[in-house]
Amino acid sequence: MSVISRALYLASWALLLVTVVSATTLPPGFTETQISGLSKPAAFDIAPDGRVFVCQQGGELRVIKNGILLAAPFLSVTVDQAGERGLLGIAFDPNFQTNRFVYVYYTVPTSPRHNRVSRFTANGDVAVAGSEVVILDLENLSSATNHNGGAIHFAADGKLYVAVGDNANSANAQTLNNRLGKMLRINPDGTIPSDNPFFNTAIGANRSIWALGLRNPFTFAFQPGTGRMFINDVGQSTWEEINDGIAGSNYGWPNTEGPTSNPAFRSPLFSYGHGSGPTTGCAIAGGAFYNPSTAQFPASFVGKYFFADLCSGWIRVMNPLNNTVEGFATNISQPVDLKTSNDGSLYYIARGSSSLFRVQFQTPGTAPSVTAHPGNQNVEEDQPAAFSVTATGTTPLSYQWQRNSVNISGANGSSYTILSTVLADNGAKFRCLVTNAFGNVLSNEATLTVTPPTPVLLTEVNSDRAIALESVTAMRDPFVFSTPYNFSFDQRTRLILFALNGRLLAGETNSSVTARAEDAQLLSYPLTVEFVGLVPGFDWLTQIVVRLPDNFPTNREFLMSISLRGKTSNKARFRMK
């Protein structure tokens, strides 16, 4: 039985199995993401820029970009999709980033039906209309719709390798008179390299034969770095094979299947029998070396070869150094292709789920822990207040600041700053919730204390001389001790001082402000505050009227200051006659 024929057989039982089939079982630390919405996916490849191109058997080449299946296909070719025919393979030109060439393998639907390799030119996420260039037309197919092969890949030598099935005629595999049941090697333009192993033996297009004796090499892969090729050949009734891809090799079909000691044939590196257990199956249908640019999986996986079985629904791992095999994933619905990406993820198609899956490894991590909590802040009104937290744990860490246990919108950094505080902020409590994939932790609360600002007496520019006026005459100093020009009968001089940050709050009165003057001998004289109010038209400026005491001396300079809410202003100089 062949790959997609077996897939169709399994699909007929899908509804019966739906209640018992469970999610994919992966080793500890591994997770997977599903991208659904595909229709009969058969193969895929990953572009150098990370986009995933998926062949749908019906002829559409779909693009998955940033984890999203795009609505418009990259291209759509008319195909014969009977049995295992259809759009079956894709490869990117080694110079794709400059020439934008994409190669596909598909079954031509018009008579005579045959498989073809064509090249298209990409323009972003779609192919340029009319850009198809036929690279290779294979032999006409019989009425048998299975054993088409279809995988195509470029090797490090810049040549395009094409896996071709025997079209369900085993005799094709052992002859050099056709290209069925073979691995082919051609130049990107379809011409045949003169160093092919049978170039001087075969004739015409058959000179493209690179290896023979294959039944249905549905998938194969090259190992990055070494260039080593593994060919997955789907068996008939006994064995599934992983073969060492070597130029000129004969893998024995139909004379032998599975391990052989016949020196005329190259025995498989690894083979497994047919069955339905965790180490057996019915159709090897995907393979990928784990040698990404960035190794995301544990180091023990680097250099290993992942392969899948369609019927048993597992992925196993082979060590190419000794050909030993271990289990990896189970409970997959009909895997048919595998690839590793540059970021170290493993992708596979689950045809039975109409989906592409991305397997990733999460390094065992730790929940966040706060190592430095935010501290209490004591600031004056209009001044900034900043809080910060330091945390450890597996990155990335995310932060959410809270005020009085309520999330602050947009406060998602390791620090949070109020640019200009107001008195209403006084007493507010701030803390930070730190989160990662493994848990979260709350910091201790920090209290914000906001106090009114210190009053400032106005002085002349670059001087400590007060800007003060006699309350009636509005004259500057020097002031007289007494004057008949006042608002009462005591003849005491009253001065108007001007202050910033002197505004009275609700509930405060003139008595909330005190004033004093001191002379050069540091003798202090209390001044009576008779009025505190805003200067009309200047609500940022406060006027304070003070009365000079009866014992106030004359003919000297004084330094005057005011106090409000426990804060004392600067000292401003004035003179007395």
Residues 168, 103 share a domain: yes
Q: How far apart are CA 402 and CA 409, in angstroms?
A: 9
Q: How far apart are CA 575 and CA 188, in angstroms?
A: 99
How far is the first Cα of the chain from the last one, in angstroms, to the nearest whole number?
Answer: 120
pLDDT for the residue numbered 365: 78
**What phi and psi, each to the nearest 5 degrees, are found at residue 476?**
-85, 170
Residues 311, 169 share a domain: yes
Torsion of CA 290, 296, 298, 304, to 10 degrees: 0
Question: pTM of the prediction?
Answer: 0.65
Residues 16, 154 share a domain: yes
pLDDT for the residue numbered 64: 98
Residues 420, 462 share a domain: no
Residues 439, 488 share a domain: no
Residues 487, 414 share a domain: no
Domain membership flag for residue 468: yes
pLDDT for the residue numbered 471: 83
pLDDT mean by block of 10 residues, the chain; 577 residues? 47 33 82 97 97 98 97 98 97 98 98 97 98 98 96 98 98 98 98 98 98 97 98 96 98 97 97 95 96 95 98 97 97 97 97 97 87 96 96 94 98 97 95 94 97 93 93 81 69 90 91 95 93 93 92 90 94 91
Domain membership flag for residue 123: yes
Domain membership flag for residue 70: no
Q: How far apart are CA 299 and CA 18, in angstroms?
A: 36
Pairing of strands 567-568, 557-564: antiparallel
| Residue 491 neighbours by CB under 8 Å, 6+ apart | 482, 483, 484
Residues 402, 300 share a domain: no
From 298, 326, 354, the end of a domain falls on 326
Domain membership flag for residue 511: yes
Domain membership flag for residue 531: yes
pLDDT for the residue numbered 557: 93
DSSP state of 370: E
User: Counting beta carbons within 10 angstroms of the beta carbon of residue 357, is it exposed (0 to 12), middle (13 to 18) or buried (19 or more)?
Assistant: buried
**What phi and psi, each to the nearest 5 degrees, are found at residue 483?**
-155, 140
pLDDT for the residue numbered 13: 33
Residues 393, 263 share a domain: no
Give the largest Cα separation in the chain, rounded: 134
Q: How far apart are CA 497 and CA 499, in angstroms?
A: 7
Contact by Cβ (8 Å): 336, 43: yes
Count of the separate structural domains present in the chain: 3
Question: 514: domain range?
Answer: 456-575
Residues 441, 538 share a domain: no
Q: How far apart are CA 429 and CA 426, in angstroms?
A: 9
| Residue 87 neighbours by CB under 8 Å, 6+ apart | 42, 55, 56, 57, 58, 59, 60, 61, 77, 79, 81, 104, 105, 106, 107
Q: How far apart are CA 245 and CA 266, in angstroms?
A: 10
Query: What are 459's strand-pairing partners?
Result: 466
Of 102, 166, 106, which is closest to residue 137 (Cα–Cα)? 106
Of 331, 330, 233, 364, which is closest to residue 287 (Cα–Cα)? 233
Contact by Cβ (8 Å): 234, 281: no
Q: How far apart are CA 113 and CA 82, in angstroms?
A: 11
Domain membership flag for residue 189: yes
From 451, 478, 512, the end of a domain falls on 451
Q: How far apart are CA 432 and CA 401, in angstroms?
A: 4
Residues 375, 304 share a domain: no
Q: How far apart are CA 169 and CA 181, in angstroms?
A: 9
Q: How far apart are CA 405 and CA 481, in angstroms?
A: 59
From 387, 418, 451, the end of a domain falls on 451
Pairing of strands 446-451, 377-380: parallel
Q: How far apart are CA 574 and CA 82, in angstroms?
A: 106
Torsion of CA 474, 476, 482, 483, to 10 degrees: -30
DSSP state of 326: E
Domain membership flag for residue 228: yes
Give the pair of three-digit tokens for residue 11.
């699909």
Domain CATH for 394: 2.60.40.10
Domain membership flag for residue 395: yes
Residues 248, 380 share a domain: no
Residues 373, 289 share a domain: no
Contact by Cβ (8 Å): 278, 270: no
